[in-house]
A and B are shown apart, each in its own frame.
Chain A
Amino acid sequence: MRRLMQGNEAVFRGALAAGASYYAGYPISPSTEILNVASGWAAEHPEFGFLQAEDEIASANAVIGASLAGAKAFTATSGPGFSLMQEAVGYAQKVGVPSVFVNVQRVGPATGMPTMPGQGDIMQVRYGSTGDYTPLAFYPNSVAEAFSTTVLAFNAAEESRSPVVLLSDTFVGHLNEVVDPEELAAAATVAPRELAPLGRHEFGSPRFFAGVLMYEHGPNAGEPATADADEYLRQYYAAKHRHLEVANRYALYQHGWNVDAQTLVICYGIVSRVAAPLAPDYALFRPIRIHPMLGDELRAIAERYEHIVAIEANDGQYADMAELTLRREVKRVPLLGGRISMEALRAGLDRVLGGGPAEPPIPLAPTEAVERSPLGIG
């Protein structure tokens, strides 16, 4: 039945459709509704595992534990919580733990502007943990897509055996739109869990869970390989190639609006919705798979445009990736401080296409006190 549904709830419903049976989390704006819905669901469905942990570190590790035990498991947080989860994310990368980490972004760093929409974690997803790894990340821009992309994230996690990140933002998470959840669930194709739970492998299983480099095969299987570069290379490239192969199955993007325009606008998440009034005069490239970068796809599209402008609620994080990929200038319109509006967007476009800087005019400091709630930050 069609009904009004919030983006955060759609993530949870999508996870259920994908076969998720465990959620652990710690509340943080603007992701908390996912925890709330999971809690309510678990109360009515005892077979669904739920933990409100003491913090994000515990949440992430509980998710990893549940996945190793055989469950499709996920957590949801926002930027500061995702920072705390980074050690666990790296561990899950190393050990090969299928899992989904949802990051509903707000304005950072730190507590920053907790209820305001931001997109400042694009690079945290790519490089947030230690060492080299090849993360997969997706970013929907509507409630229906939040549902379907969550299903994809779970599938990609199973297929790549890695922690996959579902990015969102305050406005996508808190956006309510009319969807038919039954129809969305019926359309979902679900990748099964094929890995046996930890501890139930046949003898000689290559799954080790210490996070330390171990020999996986051969006469030394199960022994530390902590000084063997060859073993590192074998395992590192095996994981990288597996992740890239799975990523290729999900090369999701939108190329639209006025494709014959002179300027290609790159934007994603809620910014791509707010930018819709640009449709008559600009072409759109909206990456849905944020990581790995859609290099071939963007190169093929970008070559026909005179200008490329990345409009993001950060200071040019995707623009940096696009510029490296394309080896040409990508102009930047940063929408910072939670102000994701056509007014700011048009002003930025006019500025950079007129040869001006990416930085907006810096507002003067107020000369009078701004009225604030006596309750302070809640």
Chain B
Amino acid sequence: MRSSSDVATRIALDGVGGQGVRVIAGVLGNLLARMGKYVTVLFDYDSSVRGSMSDAFVIFDDQPIDNPVVEEADILLKLADKGSLHITGRKVVTDLGLHEPGAEQIPFASLGSEHFGKELFGNMIALGRLLRLAEIDFDDDSIRSALPRRYQDENVAAILFGYELTPERIAELAAAAPPSRFEMNDAATAPLHRRTGINSGESGIAASTAETG
């Protein structure tokens, strides 16, 4: 019989291309691998680079993992509504404004903008929240070694911000924030000429450096 500490944790991320789903999953997977865990990270995405379905499945365990596809997640992070309709989560965290009954809602984009100057840092705040919910202990060195080199200080700060959010603080933030979706959704699906100046080039934390393979 396996103890509760070595039962696999299954995490699903559901979003659209451009939000950083691949980055979150990649950093999480690299961090867990460095911690000596067995890890699978699998991406499931549509063929548009930006704006269409982009899901990722991260599983970690103390023993080898058989099935890398997550259909029933322990934690489901939902950043958009275009993802798989087949994934359910015991604990669901969504960007504020997504209609998911019973979900914990966090205004990732506005928090990223307000505290770190860019909406896109919202995905690192989301990663921090995931690390807390999955009870993954990490130190500064391990998280830095799992992150892309660019914007590392800002990313670490955003992760810690998300990690330290309490349920009470989350409830306050959700009540205070305007009920808007992660702005990256609109930016990511807008024509190129409208996208430039909003989230192009320099603002991308990790979206452009995110390939995990």
Within 8 A of B (CB), among A335-378: 339-343, 371-378
- Given known A-B contacts A174-B43, A175-B40, A2 and B33 have beta carbons under 8 A apart: yes
- Given known A-B contacts A373-B52, A374-B191, A176 and B42 have beta carbons under 8 A apart: yes
- Given known A-B contacts A3-B33, A373-B189, A273 and B39 have beta carbons under 8 A apart: no
Closest chain B residue, CB of each to CB of A34: B213
Rounded to whole angstroms, the CA-CA distance of A323 and B154 in the bound complex is: 59
The secondary structure that dominates the A interface is: mixed
Q: What residues on B are CB-neighbors of A33 within 8 Å?
A: 211, 213
Q: What residues on B are CB-neighbors of A8 within 8 Å?
A: 213
Q: What residues on A are CB-neighbors of B67 within 8 Å?
A: 273-277, 342
Q: Is A235 an interface residue (CB 8 A)?
A: no
Q: How far is the CB of B175 from chain A (nearest CB, A)?
A: 29
Closest chain A residue, CB of each to CB of B191: A374
A375 touches B39 (CB 8 A): no
B212 touches A4 (CB 8 A): yes
A342 touches B71 (CB 8 A): yes
Mark interface residues in A172-200 (1 if CB within 8 Å of B CB, else 0).
Answer: 00111110000000000000000000000
Contact of B39 among A4, A270, A341 (CB under 8 A): A4
Within 8 A of A (CB), among B91-135: none
Q: How far is the CB of B156 from chain A (nearest CB, A)?
A: 20
Q: Is A9 an interface residue (CB 8 A)?
A: yes
B47 touches A4 (CB 8 A): no
B189 touches A374 (CB 8 A): yes
Chain B: interface residue total (CB-CB under 8 A): 37
- Given known A-B contacts A174-B43, A176-B39, A377-B48, A4 and B29 have beta carbons under 8 A apart: yes
Q: Is B69 an interface residue (CB 8 A)?
A: yes
Q: Is A115 an interface residue (CB 8 A)?
A: yes
B50 touches A375 (CB 8 A): yes
Rounded to whole angstroms, the CA-CA distance of A3 and B37 in the bound complex is: 10
Q: What residues on B are CB-neighbors of A37 within 8 Å?
A: 213
Q: What residues on A are CB-neighbors of B39 within 8 Å?
A: 4, 176-178
Q: How far is the CB of B54 from chain A (nearest CB, A)?
A: 10
Mark interface residues in B190-204 (1 if CB within 8 Å of A CB, else 0).
Answer: 110000000000000
Q: How far is the CB of A79 from chain B (nearest CB, A)?
A: 14
A9 touches B50 (CB 8 A): no
* 18 A-B residue pairings within 8 Å (CB atoms): A2-B36, A4-B33, A9-B213, A29-B47, A33-B213, A37-B213, A115-B45, A171-B68, A175-B41, A176-B42, A276-B66, A277-B66, A339-B86, A373-B189, A375-B51, A375-B52, A375-B189, A378-B50
